[in-house]
Amino acid sequence: MQRLNIIKQRSFNALQILYPIYCRGPLRVVVLLLFFLYSGCSRSTPPSFPGEPGPLAGDQSVIQPMNAGEEASAGEEASAGEEASAGEETIGRPNSATFIPAPATLHRLSSTELLASVYSVFGLSPAVTIEQDTSLHGFVRVANSELTISPLLTEQLETLAWEVADQLRMDEALLSVHFPCPLRLDDTGEWAQPACLRSSILELGLMLWRRPLEVVEVDRLLGLYQLLRGDSTTRSTHYKAVTGIVAALLQSPDFAFRVEVGESTSPERNDDPQQIWRYTNYEMASRLSYLLWGTGPDEELLSAAQAQRLVTDEGLRAEALRLLDDPRAIHRFRGYFEELMGLGYLETVSKNAERFPSFTPSLRASMHNEVMDLFTSVVFDRDADFRELLTSTESSVDQELAELYGVSLPQTLATGERVSVTLPDQYPRGGLLGRAAPLALFSHATVNSPTFRGRFIRSGLLCQDVPPPPEGVVTELEDPVEGEVQTLRQRLERHATDPQCAGCHQLMDPLGYPLERFDPIGRWRELDNGLPIDSSGALDGLSFDGAVELGQAVADSPYFSSCMTKRLYRYAVGHLEGFDEYPLIDQLDERFIAEGAYRFKSLLLSIVMSDGFRLLSPHQPERNEEGQEISIEGCGGVERCDGEDNDCDGEIDEGIIRSCQDRCDATGVQICLDGGWSECDIGDAPPEVCDGEDNDCDGEIDESLQSSAERCDGEDNDCDGEIDEEVTSSLHDVSFEVLSGLHDGCRANQRDQSSCNAAINRYCSSLGCGGSGVGPIESGWQSIVVLCLPESMIRGQQVSYAELSSRHDVCDGQREGVGPNCNAAIHRHCNQTGQGTGFGPRERSQTSAGIACVPEADIISTTYTELSQQHGDCHQGGERIGPSCNAAISRLCAARGYLSGWGPLENSGDIAVIACVY
């Protein structure tokens, strides 16, 4: 009690200023506690502190077990570091002379991080409203380690997820980037291979959840695919089901939260409470990329995580430097500086419309940009001493701001145009503090506020908080005496004389007075209320005059660098720093000054390399009174397949799916129904192959294979023990990977018909039975189906384009070398030479084409009306010739008992002539 009384007499002022010095070690807690007991402001001079260690004792007692940035030695030293004896003053808190890492935390993504993450993975910018971010302790990043996802944001995330899913569904090319699985066609519909889907989910999951998915998680998503697909076998349901997977990935807490759990660096010492925990490689990848880029890790960073490089000094440093060297880092830290300066609030600031008609939204935006540009210049363009922010006279202005600043420009700037200028000497503004944005932000609507301006400097830039006025205090100033003209400063005189006000206001007002030459929107003024302005001020005993000297004084204050270190640390780690992190922050500040020469990027790098960014304290399991871990299952917990409503959501066994093996070891899914499991649904059964086994698991061996036709593929298709005997034509699903290897111009994203014809020809003739082929019969994203004809069925020949163009105009190798006219020309050439019909050119030169006539092909006259039944896009007024008609023709041939076919050989009006082969 005695001590309490003594300390309570101490000046608040002194407490504030001395706090950072002597509040290290055991005293810190006492002093802080007193802070809260002591809410007023007194002006009395602090007495000495009898019986207490001197101000620097705390400093000397700091044990420094870890050099910031040297992770390798962290383990031993931290565990070896003795905690100083806890005196009565510690009030149950651990001594914070030793750095103790913060506990693992769940970090919510901000609205910009959510949208940036979607953009990074999909390249999409869906127009979806996301609720405004909340800022706590100065930063949205910090708030997001404390806030959860509100019901509104939950809805908005759902909308976002489905908007992305929908855009993917509408864009086959983009969808195929993420789900490249070829769809296999059979007469039950179109199927994707489960194994391929599984790998797509793993890859996309890695990007969106920023860690490898576990098998069960993939199984659940595959189960969702089956559920969404249901009985339908159409391509569009497939699209809907895969995009449903995307919607689920995006709505999962693993996407919207950065989940950090950490790992022990010495898992073998599992019971040792002193063991050191660190963030895992993948957690580090996200910590780095969200800090430096505001979005999820790119592939390179994920590779570094996979290679375990992000828990090593060299690996982490290399990646941090790589990310810092990217324009995204500039954008990210402009955002940091915006929050540090509170510039976001500028948007909500209103000024007295009569007095300040020039304070338009565009001027507000320009002020905002000027300050951000100054930051970019000092920190990124020049990598200069960070304190230049407070002293530099460089600026970037547009026309409106130039007028506000009295900068004369050689010519009028176009709207939105900005130029770099040096601010004129006759209106000395100095650096940041004399710029319009903070001046307008920390003023009232009609008059200046030296108090607000000073408080921003004191608490925002020097990290010395000033309490609000106590309850019941009258805060308005007395009316000026009638007829007496006063400056604002003179009216505020009571702040310095009334003891109730002075304790706190003397911390603020003298830092605001030097800015009195700037009005509430930051314009230079010579007079206030018609009177000359007194712009003298003081900071911690140092007197000065005007904005330039103020900026220099703040830049020179040791509290400025320590404050900037503290703020950047807070932002980087994404939580409000705890007492146990102060020793590390102090070391980082020393390093910022001594080794970093006050360069922002060096500070950022040493924070990233420090234990504060890389180590954590594992959370303790919840225990009951007997010390047993409390299970978190039960209501609100996990729904189990037991016929009970375990999570109390009014539904029983909802959404529970597990993977299973059916009796032939195929992987399928089971759905929980009323406490039991459904039959194992393997969906797409594997095909029966000629191997004496029941591959498709229908109880029969090699059934129906004997009726298959032998194809030229080196396999025993008809299961008669002979290979490629009496081969007929055959269909093959060939990937573009293969085709482009055969001819470079035939690629998934560049399907040059001439090149593909050549590639198909080469593919078919390489099968071992010679021959050639035509296609695409069916087109997939990554593969096409081609029709191969054995050598025995074709008559290959070289025909000049002169010959072909005589059969059908236009097919002269110049105007058309491959296409509808040449189809007809080739058909006519074969037909008129008694060789049925044909296709090609298989290969071509400028002057001639290699074609294949097929005497055995049946020439069938059909109609587009009929073809459109087979493929809706092939109709008289539609495609007529192309991939959809190719598919329609092949299907029509198949419907008539043939294997496949091609065409149209000729077409006119609704009539289409096609070729079918067995």
Partner 1 sequence: MKHHNKRHNPVLSLPSKRAPITPSAPLSRRQVLRGILGGSAVSISLPVLEGMLNDHGDAYAQGMPIPTRFGLWFWGNGVRPELWVPQGVGRGAEWQLSEELAPLQRHKSKLSALSGYTIKTGTHAHHAGMTGVMTGRPLHQVGVTRDTIVSTFDGPSLDMIAAAQLEGQSPFRSLEFGVTRFTGTDEGTTFQHLSHNGPNNPNPSEYSAQAAFSRLFGGNSNLDDLNARRSVLDAVMGQFSRLKPKLSVNDRRRLDQHFDSIRTLEMRLAAEPSSCAIPDQPGIYPDQSGREQIEAKNTVMSELMALALACDLTRVFSMQFSTCGSGVIIHPAGATDGLHRTCHDEPMSGSPSTQPIVHGATVYTMRQLSIFLDKLNDIPMGAGSLLDHCAIACTTEHTDGRLHRYEDFPFLIAGLGGGRLRGDVHHRGRGDESITKGGLTALRAAGLNIPNFGTEGGYTESSISALEA
Is residue 525 close enough to count as binding partner 1 by CB under 8 A?
A: no
> Of the candidates 75, 94, 138, 745, which one interacts with partner 1 according to CB under 8 A?
138
User: Of 2-10, 254-262, 305-313, 910-918, which segment contacts partner 1 by CB under 8 A?
Assistant: 254-262
Is residue 233 close enough to count as binding partner 1 by CB under 8 A?
A: yes
Cα of 471 vs its chain's centroid, Å: 45
> Of the candidates 11, 67, 79, 135, which one interacts with partner 1 according to CB under 8 A?
135
CB atoms within 10 A of CB 156: 18
Supply φ then ψ for residue 780, to 5 degrees.
Answer: -110, -175
> Of the candidates 373, 653, 710, 879, which one interacts with partner 1 according to CB under 8 A?
653
Is residue 726 close enough to count as binding partner 1 by CB under 8 A?
A: no
Which residues from 163-192 bind partner 1, rule CB under 8 A?
163, 165-166, 186-188
Supply φ then ψ for residue 395, to 5 degrees.
Answer: -155, 160
Burial 369-382 (b: 16+ CB within 10 A, else e): bbbbbbbbbbbbee
Residue 230 or 483 having the CB closest to partner 1? 230
Which residues from 352-371 bind partner 1, rule CB under 8 A?
352-357, 359-361
User: Of 443-451, 511-519, 527-535, 840-848, which segment contacts partner 1 by CB under 8 A?
Assistant: 443-451
Is residue 642 close enough to count as binding partner 1 by CB under 8 A?
A: no
E strand or H helix that includes residue 322 = helix 313-324
Is residue 647 close enough to count as binding partner 1 by CB under 8 A?
A: yes
Residue 54 or 637 having the CB closest to partner 1? 637
> Of the candidates 46, 55, 683, 819, which one interacts with partner 1 according to CB under 8 A?
683
Is residue 152 close enough to count as binding partner 1 by CB under 8 A?
A: yes
Is residue 279 close enough to count as binding partner 1 by CB under 8 A?
A: no
Is residue 445 close enough to count as binding partner 1 by CB under 8 A?
A: yes
- How is 158-221 classified by DSSP, letter by letter? HHHHHHHHHHHHH-HHHHHHH--PPEEEETTEEEE-HHHHHHHHHHHHHHHHSSPPPHHHHHHH
**Contacts with partner 1, 88-117, as mask; x by CB under 8 A:** ---------------xxxx-----------
**What is the distance between the alpha carbons of residues 256 and 302, in angstroms, rounded to a whole number?**
18
> Of the candidates 230, 327, 692, 721, which one interacts with partner 1 according to CB under 8 A?
230
Q: Is the dihedral of CA 216, 218, 220, 226 positive or negative?
A: negative
CB atoms within 10 A of CB 286: 26
User: Of 147-155, 736-744, 754-762, 771-779, which segment contacts partner 1 by CB under 8 A?
Assistant: 147-155
Is residue 649 close enough to count as binding partner 1 by CB under 8 A?
A: yes
Measure the CA dihedral 52/57/61/64, to 10°: 140
| CB of residue 483 to partner 1, shortest distance in Å | 17
Is residue 63 close enough to count as binding partner 1 by CB under 8 A?
A: no
Is residue 659 close enough to count as binding partner 1 by CB under 8 A?
A: no
Closest C-alpha to 776, from 828, 839, 721, 822: 839
Residue 504 or 830 having the CB closest to partner 1? 504
How many residues touch partner 1 (CB under 8 A)? 136
Phi-psi region of 702 (alpha: psi -120 to 50; beta: other; left: phi over 0): left
Residue pair 759/841 in contact by the 8 Å Cβ criterion: no
User: Of 53-61, 214-222, 390-398, 830-838, which segment contacts partner 1 by CB under 8 A?
Assistant: 214-222
**What is the distance between the alpha carbons of residues 139 and 344, in angstroms, rounded to a whole number?**
11
User: Of 50-58, 462-470, 601-609, 835-843, which segment contacts partner 1 by CB under 8 A?
Assistant: 462-470
| CB of residue 395 to partner 1, shortest distance in Å | 25
User: Of 401-409, 411-419, 433-441, 647-655, which segment contacts partner 1 by CB under 8 A?
Assistant: 647-655
Closest C-alpha to 753, from 780, 774, 768, 783: 774
CA distances from 633 to 116, 252, 534, 673 (A): 35, 20, 68, 20
Q: Report helix, strand or coil for 416.
A: coil
**Contacts with partner 1, 557-576, as mask; x by CB under 8 A:** -------------------x
Is residue 154 close enough to count as binding partner 1 by CB under 8 A?
A: yes
Residue 226 or 561 having the CB closest to partner 1? 226
**What is the distance between the alpha carbons of residues 117 and 138, in angstroms, rounded to a whole number?**
23
Is residue 253 close enough to count as binding partner 1 by CB under 8 A?
A: yes
**What is the distance between the alpha carbons of residues 485 and 477, in angstroms, rounded to a whole number?**
15
* Helices 2-9 and 27-37, packing angle to 10 deg: 70
| CB of residue 464 to partner 1, shortest distance in Å | 10
- Beta carbons within 8 Å of 137's beta carbon, 6+ residues apart: 143, 570, 576
Measured at the CA of 23, the angle between CA 20 and CA 24, to 5 degrees, comes to 105
Is residue 479 close enough to count as binding partner 1 by CB under 8 A?
A: yes
Q: Which long-range contacts (CB under 8 A, 24 or more apart) does 181-187 make?
A: 181/782, 182/733, 182/735, 182/780, 182/781, 182/782, 182/783, 183/235, 183/238, 183/780, 184/733, 185/778, 185/785
Which residues from 20-49 bind partner 1, rule CB under 8 A?
32, 35-36, 39
User: Of 70-78, 399-407, 646-654, 832-840, which segment contacts partner 1 by CB under 8 A?
Assistant: 646-654
| CB of residue 77 to partner 1, shortest distance in Å | 26
CA distances from 87 to 27, 205, 316, 580 (A): 10, 51, 39, 17
> Of the candidates 338, 540, 556, 696, which one interacts with partner 1 according to CB under 8 A?
696
Is residue 217 close enough to count as binding partner 1 by CB under 8 A?
A: yes
Residue keyed to tokens 């917990």 = 637
Which residues from 704-723 bind partner 1, rule CB under 8 A?
704, 708
Residue keyed to tokens 């384009």 = 801
Which residues from 742-801 bind partner 1, rule CB under 8 A?
none
Look up residue 900 and give its two tokens: 């496949």
**What is the distance between the alpha carbons of residues 433 and 419, in angstroms, rounded to a whole number?**
20
> Of the candidates 14, 57, 136, 202, which one interacts with partner 1 according to CB under 8 A?
136
Residue pair 378/386 in contact by the 8 Å Cβ criterion: yes
| CB of residue 752 to partner 1, shortest distance in Å | 29
Look up residue 360 and give its two tokens: 């338009």
> Of the candidates 51, 273, 410, 472, which one interacts with partner 1 according to CB under 8 A?
472
Is residue 541 close enough to count as binding partner 1 by CB under 8 A?
A: no
Residue 69 or 205 having the CB closest to partner 1? 205
User: Of 67-75, 128-136, 601-609, 837-845, which segment contacts partner 1 by CB under 8 A?
Assistant: 128-136
User: Of 275-283, 342-350, 385-393, 596-604, which segment contacts partner 1 by CB under 8 A?
Assistant: 342-350
Is residue 498 close enough to count as binding partner 1 by CB under 8 A?
A: no
User: Of 68-76, 162-170, 306-314, 532-540, which segment contacts partner 1 by CB under 8 A?
Assistant: 162-170
**CA-only gyration radius of the chain, Å:** 38
> Of the candidates 131, 381, 383, 493, which one interacts with partner 1 according to CB under 8 A?
131
| CB of residue 603 to partner 1, shortest distance in Å | 20
| CB of residue 509 to partner 1, shortest distance in Å | 15
User: Of 263-271, 351-359, 373-381, 909-917, which segment contacts partner 1 by CB under 8 A?
Assistant: 351-359
Is residue 413 close enough to count as binding partner 1 by CB under 8 A?
A: no
User: Of 173-181, 438-446, 797-805, 813-821, which segment contacts partner 1 by CB under 8 A?
Assistant: 438-446
Is residue 469 close enough to count as binding partner 1 by CB under 8 A?
A: yes
N- to C-terminal Cα distance for the chain?
104
